[in-house]
Amino acid sequence: MKKNTWKNLKQSWKYAKGSRRYLVLFLILGIIQAIGYAIVPLLTANLIIQITEKNVDGLIMTGVWIALVNAFYWLCNALSSVVSNKFSTEILIKLQSILAEETLYLSQKELNNNSSGVFADRINNDCGKIGSTFVEISFTCTSVLANAGILLAVFLVSKIVFGYYIIVIICLYICNLFRYDYFFKFDKKIREVKEKNTGTVTELIRGLTDIKVLNAISGFTNKMKDRFKTTNTMYYKLNNRNTIMYVSIEYVKIVAELLFIIIGVVLIKGNLLTFASFIILFNYQDRVYALVDNLNFMTEYFKDFELSAERIFEIISHHKFEREKFGKTKLEKASGNFEFKNVHFGYDDKEILKGISFKIKENETLAFVGKSGSGKTTIFNLLTKLYEVDKGEITIDNININDLTRDSIRGNMSLISQNPYIFNFTIRENLRLVKEDMTDEEMVEVCKLAQIHDYIMTLPDKYDTLVGEGGINLSGGQRQRLAIARALLRKTEIILFDEATSALDNQTQRDIQKAINNMKGEYTILIIAHRLSTVINSDRIILIDDGKVKAEGTHTELMKTSKDYKELYETEMETK
């Protein structure tokens, strides 16, 4: 066994804590089964002897013992199945939960650069391999023990046949090693392609409406067909090669069986073996081959386990995927003072923010305006630490954001984005995600503030209505209002609105604007605005252009001092 396999087994064993008693019980039951598995062939051999000696009483007694041993064997088998399922299920739940949580801690760059299938396939498929590995190892060990007992019986009957069986076992094992090596090298490539397929299917479901309205069904279908064809063609080639190698091994068994008969005849003629002993040894062939299958199965499972463990621990142990980085300084309750000091940031070698600097005061309502792509949303991404600055410094309450813990940053901010993701839960469950101890009074209060309570009350199941994948059963404006309610429920000192009213009708926008105005002076409110008319009452407005602060001041001041701001505002007024 490779050193890396042992390392993965030890690491996996940590996650079996609390469930190991089930594995111990499974092992005990397996040993009992192994004993029964070894006894039955001996009883069967005795049955043959009783038949040849025409001993009726001995025949009946042996038959009764075989029945009792088999009944006890299958009882233990049933109990083993229950215990192993319990063990595997508990580890699967634990690993899937940990892997899902670790995925949430990955850096935004990793999430952007990898399709969702990379993570979904590992959570859904690879975790199951780990949980069942220890059960399969225990089962295989007990089976090997039982079948090794058969070899001992063969050794006692005929050392020559024992030597022959050892040679056959070695030959079959080597043949299977070649098959497994080829299979798993190919399987690794297939899993990588499957990840892409999973990502494509996920995108199909999430983008179903857009695919339809864009009339892109043909293009997307062809894209899927190409990917499915690539994967399944690889499976086809792999299975064909596997079948050829498997049949070749079966031919080796056929030749081995013929050679056994020839050797048996020679030994009988030489008075080195009796007919009864020959029959017993011939019946042992299947058990000897089963021993080879046990050894090969263990090899196969270890290789399969190693591949799955490698893919899982790449995430859990941070070998391949970069995690978000946070500091150790705790800030229980931020006052809301921010400062960007000469901040530079870019995506894929394209600089977005170019030495931007500004301050935000406690309980100030500040708006960012500017053309699309000027860097407004990037400011929020850096402030919530979805990304890290390339150069410069961001401080919260005079503390460098890189020194603060995750909870100190995100626990003090609520972000309401332009395209919020609403989960396929009920409205109540979507709200409870951010506050598990939410009361009904709090829920209704924030929904009224977000102007969505009245709509919810018209639904058949009201707050217990399922909203569908991505909130598909809600309109764009309703999704944003629910997201606003979800953010307001957290009651953080800092609230970020990233064009959060852009999808709302004019009346609802005015209502939300009233809610924002009601919060002024009590919260630090940052607003990225598409419509300048929604932010003219802000304490301060910062105009961002090409990643730089072009101008800042109140609406009245900017109308007098900034030509660019005035043009933006007047253009908006003209389009109304």
> What pLDDT does residue 187 have?
67
Q: Looking at residues 413-427, what average pLDDT do you find?
A: 80
Whether 458 has a pLDDT exceeding 80, the answer reads: yes
Q: Looking at per-residue confidence, does 405 or 97 come out higher? A: 405
Of 424 and 354, which is predicted with more confidence?
Answer: 354
Tens digits of residue pLDDT in 237-265: 777 777 787 788 788 888 888 888 888 88
Confidence of residue 295 (pLDDT cuts 50, 70, 90): confident
Reported as a pLDDT band with limits 50, 70 and 90, residue 486 is confident
- Of 97-111, 269-283, 401-415, which range is least confident? 97-111
- Taking 70 as the threshold, does the pLDDT of residue 195 lie above it? no
d(CA 547, CA 545): 5
Q: Does the structure show a pLDDT above 70 at 200?
A: no
- DSSP readout, 49-100? HHHHTT-HHHHHHHHHHHHHHHHHHHHHHHHHHHHHHHHHHHHHHHHHHHHH
pLDDT at 576: 56
In this prediction, what percent of the chain has a pLDDT beyond 70?
78
Domains, the chain, with CATH or none = 7-316 (1.20.1560.10), 338-575 (3.40.50.300)
Q: Are 294 and 133 in contact (CB under 8 A)?
A: no
* Position 96 confidence tier, pLDDT thresholds 50, 70, 90: confident
Q: Secondary structure of 321-385 in the HEC alphabet?
A: CCECCCCCECCCCCCCCEEEEEEEEEECCEEEEEEEEEEECCCCEEEEECCCCCCHHHHHHHHCC
**For residue 44, which of 24, 66, 29 has the smallest C-alpha distance?**
66
At 291 the pLDDT is 77
d(CA 125, CA 129): 7
Check residue 505 and give its pLDDT: 65
On the question of pLDDT at 414 being above 80, the answer is yes
pLDDT-derived band at 205, boundaries 50, 70, 90: low
Which pLDDT does position 15 carry in this prediction?
67
Q: Which amino acid is at 316?
A: I
Q: Which of 79-93, 138-152, 536-550 has the highest mean pLDDT?
A: 536-550
Q: Of the ranges 14-18, 230-234, 305-309, 410-414, which is most confident?
A: 410-414
Q: Which residue has the higher pLDDT, 534 or 209?
A: 534
Mean pLDDT of 406-421: 81
pTM of the complete model: 0.63
**pLDDT for the residue numbered 206:** 62
Q: How confident is the model at residue 116 (pLDDT cuts 50, 70, 90)?
A: low
**Chain centre to alpha carbon of residue 343:** 35
Which of the two residues, 418 and 464, has the higher pLDDT score?
A: 464
What is the band of 512 on the pLDDT scale with cuts at 50, 70, 90? low
pLDDT at 228 over 80: no
- pLDDT number for residue 511: 66
| Concatenated DSSP letters of 480-517 | HHHHHHHHHTT--SEEEEESTTTTS-HHHHHHHHHHHH
Task: Using the predicted structure, report yes or no on whether residue 67 has a pLDDT greater than 60.
Answer: yes
**Distance of alpha carbon 162 from alpha carbon 291, whole angstroms:** 14
Give the tokens for residue 297.
């199965």
Please give the Cα distance from 274 to 267 (Å, whole number): 8
Most confidently modeled of 169-183, 450-464, 477-491?
450-464
Two tokens at 575? 């389009």
Residue type, 402: N
Best mean pLDDT range from 11-25, 271-285, 307-321, 498-512: 271-285
- SS3 per-residue string spanning 68-82: HHHHHHHHHHHHHHH
Q: Tell me which DSSP letter residue 419 carries.
A: S
Burial class (CB in 10 A: 0-12, 13-18, 19+), 455: middle
Query: Which pLDDT score is estimated for 108?
Result: 74
Average of per-residue pLDDT values in the chain: 78
Q: Across residues 262-279, what is the average pLDDT? A: 84
Pair of tokens at residue 35:
């004993």
Sorting pLDDT into bands at 50, 70 and 90, what band is 41?
Answer: low
